[in-house]
Amino acid sequence: MGTTQLETAPEPKYWHLKTVLSEALDSEFAVGEILPNERELAARFGVARATLRQALEQLELEGRLQRRRGVGTTVAPPRVGVAVDPARHTWPGAPGDDWQPVDAAMSDTVPAPVARLLETAPGEQVHIVRRSRVTHGQPVAAELLYVPAATVPDCTAAASLSAPGSARAVLHALQERELDGQDRTVELGSARAEDAKELDRLPGAPVLVVTTRYVSAGRPAAVAVSTYRADTCRLTFGETEMPLLAG
């Protein structure tokens, strides 16, 4: 493997390096192949390791590379298309939903952005349902579903059930309500330690965060925060309706 010096370029050096590395991935490496270590790559391209790391991080964000615990940096396979809520009028856990319930717990504290979406008062009890999604045998997403206790007042036995059973009990109670519609947002984020472990990623790895708000009787009834692997997922969306909330 020869040495390649980068030419002066108007774009940031790491961005030019990313382009050069991308071309090398296409011509020299196979899917799943482990890249040389950072010291070797930095020497080959005549850049500082900090510049190299920026380029590698960008390629990981674009789904070209994967960093794996105990393995190193490997060439990623093409992204898997993952449908995000293809049905417009279904609650989480409805027939055809391929998320797997993990557990559920009650809490009087939820993240501030979720509390704003739910329009809950401080100290209000909320069911937090944890779910996971696997595609082709690979974990691709983790989800926290927040359901105010007031939304499912008859769901009193959930706490006494097994972990998956308690999650299913909340989901079943939610499905008893009439769903008006849903709206969602997608943004780039960084994997929290808990999500990273579940998704077999490193903490801080790039992820896609899909936040879905479910509306019933003109009011927010639940909020799902779904964290998808940005390196392996290509999210696809069906047609959705964006209901207006009652004032």
pLDDT exceeds cutoff 50 at 247: no
Query: What pLDDT is recorded for position 88?
Result: 55
The pLDDT-based confidence of 246 (bands split at 50, 70, 90) is: very low
Most confident of 94-108, 154-168, 196-210: 94-108
CATH 1.10.10.10 intervals, the chain: 13-75
**What CATH number was assigned to the domain covering residues 13-75?**
1.10.10.10
Query: What pLDDT is recorded for position 216?
Result: 95
State pTM to two decimals. Answer: 0.72
The beta strand positions in the chain, using DSSP E, are 65-68, 72-75, 80-84, 99-107, 126-135, 138-148, 181-190, 206-216, 219-229, 233-237
Region 163-185 average pLDDT: 91
Query: What pLDDT is recorded for position 89?
Result: 66
Q: Tell me the C-alpha distance between 195 and 142, whole Å.
A: 6
Region 112-130 average pLDDT: 94
In whole numbers, what is the pLDDT of the chain averaged over residues? 85
**What CATH number was assigned to the domain covering residues 80-237?**
3.40.1410.10
In degrees and rounded to multiples of 5, residue 222 shows phi and psi of: -165, 155
Query: What pLDDT is recorded for position 170?
Result: 93
Query: What pLDDT is recorded for position 232?
Result: 77
Region 114-128 average pLDDT: 94
In degrees and rounded to multiples of 5, residue 168 shows phi and psi of: -65, -35
Q: Tell me the C-alpha distance between 123 and 2, whole Å.
A: 63
Burial class (CB in 10 A: 0-12, 13-18, 19+), 221: buried
Longest dimension (CA), the chain: 69
Region 51-71 average pLDDT: 84
Whether the Cβ atoms of residue 43 and residue 195 lie closer than 8 Å to each other: no
207-238 pLDDT per residue, tens: 899 999 999 999 999 999 999 988 777 888 76
Burial class (CB in 10 A: 0-12, 13-18, 19+), 145: buried
Query: What pLDDT is recorded for position 82?
Result: 77
Torsion angle of alpha carbons 120, 192, 190, 242, nearest 10°? -30
The region of weakest confidence among 21-25, 93-97, 103-107, 159-163 is 159-163
Tokens encoding 153: 């007042």
CATH 3.40.1410.10 intervals, the chain: 80-237
Which residue in 241, 244, 226 sits closest to 83, CA to CA?
Answer: 226
Q: Do strands 206-216 and 219-229 pair parallel, antiparallel, or not at all (unpaired)?
A: antiparallel
Q: Tell me the C-alpha distance between 17 and 24, whole Å.
A: 10
Sequence length of the chain is: 247
